[in-house]
Structure 1
Amino acid sequence: MLTTALAIKLGLLCVAGFIAAFVDSIAGGGGLISLPAFLMAGIPPYFALGTNKFSATAASCTSSIKYIKSGKANFELLKYLIPFTAVGAFLGASTVLAIKQEYLQAMVLVMILAVGIYSLFSKTMGTEDRFTGFTKRNILYGILLAFGIGFYDGFFGPGTGSFLIFGMIGIYGFDFIQAGGNARVLNFVSNVTSLIRFAIQGKVYLVFGVPVAISMIIGARMGTKFALKNGAKVVKPIFVTMSLAVAAKMLYSLIW
């Protein structure tokens, strides 16, 4: 039987999870909301990482299926990128204790701030689909992106979706919806791979993870539906907002 305090804590986590998944399925950056929520609930850091991966995996799976059914995921491309995403995520989760995270956080702060500012001032970025086909060069760039962001997601995580969307637009000329569909599939792969690694180490609290996962599934379904219905021009300002919000949160964490 749940105590009143635990029920309140679970309720707040579920609300945070719903909002995180809704936003993340549109533009990435949901980890900015969900992971701090687990930490604020008093869950130890590595259990917070593992439990957040559990819930986020359920949400990214839901969102990925919706994008795939809508024809917004390109498996001609993903067949090359998925294996490298998985390898990168596994290595990232395996080495999470090897490097002090504050060093990586400083580098990521600069990168995601640049992504947000560039997206804000580029009037045409991601608003129309400029994809013209695959070449050996852009496939190679995609593989490097998939491996690098997979590693980053396994090791640290915040901003993964935003980086993937930005990379997909920059390399292939996709609009935000096409980029988002492919990014969600790759994000699901990195999530589930990282989750396996955390689960092997017993770093998942199912008593928190299962209820939050259910709320995140609902949020992901609604967020994906919103993105598909409203198109790239509506998604772009949300993407810019979340990129700058992730940067602001990281800057706050570094200073305080």
Structure 2
Amino acid sequence: METYIIVILCIASFFSGFVDAIVGGGGLIQTPVTMIMLPNLSVANVIGSLKIPAFSGTSFATYQYLKRVDINWRLLLLMAIVSFCFAYLGSNLLTIVSNDFMKPLLLLILVGLAIYTFRKKDFGQFRHKNLSANKQLFFALLISMLVGFYDGFIGPGTGSFLVLAFVSVLGFDFLHASANAKMVNLATNFGSICLFVSKGKIIWAIAIPMAFCNALGGFLGSKLAIKKGNSFIRIFFLAVVILALLRFGYDVFFA
């Protein structure tokens, strides 16, 4: 493989880790870049290989958040187990069928999300829901199933969808949502990695160098997010949603 290709992929992976650590959605950067630079790889090979840097970057970001943000360990352990299982199932399905039919639906969801976040200035600025323990558990497990399966089957934007779910459904502020989303995202990535390793879909020659760069980006991004707080994360969230809109809009109308 040409050296310049590895360099470009590593740069994309660094920025992916940086963005993902702040608000999720790093896959919206490194996934299309990898597909462009390695057009002969199957979707399963691309997604499978990128799970390694995604896991690496998320791990470093998670460590930074754990030092500063309170975590509901009991709830997150259940979410991690469920999301792991559904990510494994989603990745298994990816090796069998195409995921293109999901893109128009995601485009509509992202349009609504961008409008809502832009209009509601206090969205994610503070905790605003007091759900009962049973309701919180129900919604948490539902989120884990849906987002876990999505991450295994499609991938890009998973962190952003998790942040959105923690904010809008469970009532977290952006900072706590980002921290908790990282924990769940670790489980979804690991579930996918287990499947892709068993299927031999990971290209280690690109996965390992990208993992180091993603980890560095995740480390720096998480430190910046913790320092700047909720308002900064909200702006970053909007930027990532717009990026996702452009990405899926191109896939739906031009690809």
TM-score range (shorter-chain normalised) is over 0.9
Change (3 A) 1:228 1:87: same
What does residue 15 of structure 2 align with? 19
> More displaced, 109-118 or 171-180?
109-118
The one of 182, 185, 189 aligned to 2:183: 185
What does residue 211 of structure 1 align with? 209
Q: Is the partner of 1:157 in helix, strand or coil?
A: coil
After TM superposition, the structure 1 = structure 2 runs for residues 58-137 of structure 1, keeping only pairs within 5 Å, are 58-130=56-128, 132=130, 134-137=132-135
Q: Is the partner of 2:94 in helix, strand or coil?
A: coil
For 1:72-99, what per-residue CA distance to the aligned partner results, in whole angstroms no more than 9, with x for missing partners?
Answer: 4321321221111111101111111454
Partners in 2 of 1:182 and 1:174 — Cα distance?
9
CA contact (8 A) 2:44 2:94 kept: no
Partners in 1 of 2:98 and 2:201 — Cα distance?
19
CA contact (8 A) 1:117 1:240 kept: no
TM-score, length-scaled by structure 1: 0.94
Structure 1 stretches of 4+ with a deviation exceeding 4 A read: none
Partners in 2 of 1:113 and 1:225 — Cα distance?
29
Q: Is the partner of 1:192 in helix, strand or coil?
A: helix
Change (3 A) 1:47 1:97: closer
CA contact (8 A) 1:127 1:233 kept: yes
After TM superposition, the structure 1 = structure 2 runs for residues 159-238 of structure 1, keeping only pairs within 5 Å, are 159-238=157-236
TM-score, length-scaled by structure 2: 0.94
Consecutive unaligned residues of structure 2, counting only runs of 5 or more, are none
Partners in 2 of 1:102 and 1:220 — Cα distance?
29
What does residue 37 of structure 2 align with? 41
Q: Is the partner of 1:110 in helix, strand or coil?
A: helix
Change (3 A) 1:113 1:158: farther
RMSD: 1.5
CA contact (8 A) 1:112 1:159 kept: no
- How far 1:153 moved relative to its partner? 0.2
CA contact (8 A) 2:86 2:152 kept: yes
Partners in 2 of 1:192 and 1:81 — Cα distance?
13
CA contact (8 A) 1:56 1:191 kept: yes
Q: Is the partner of 2:234 in helix, strand or coil?
A: helix
1:143 aligns with 2:131: no
- The share of aligned pairs that are identical, in percent, is 27
Q: Is the partner of 1:136 in helix, strand or coil?
A: helix
Q: Is the partner of 2:156 in helix, strand or coil?
A: coil
Partners in 1 of 2:96 and 2:136 — Cα distance?
32
Partners in 2 of 1:12 and 1:97 — Cα distance?
26
What does residue 244 of structure 1 align with? 242
Q: Is the partner of 1:172 in helix, strand or coil?
A: coil
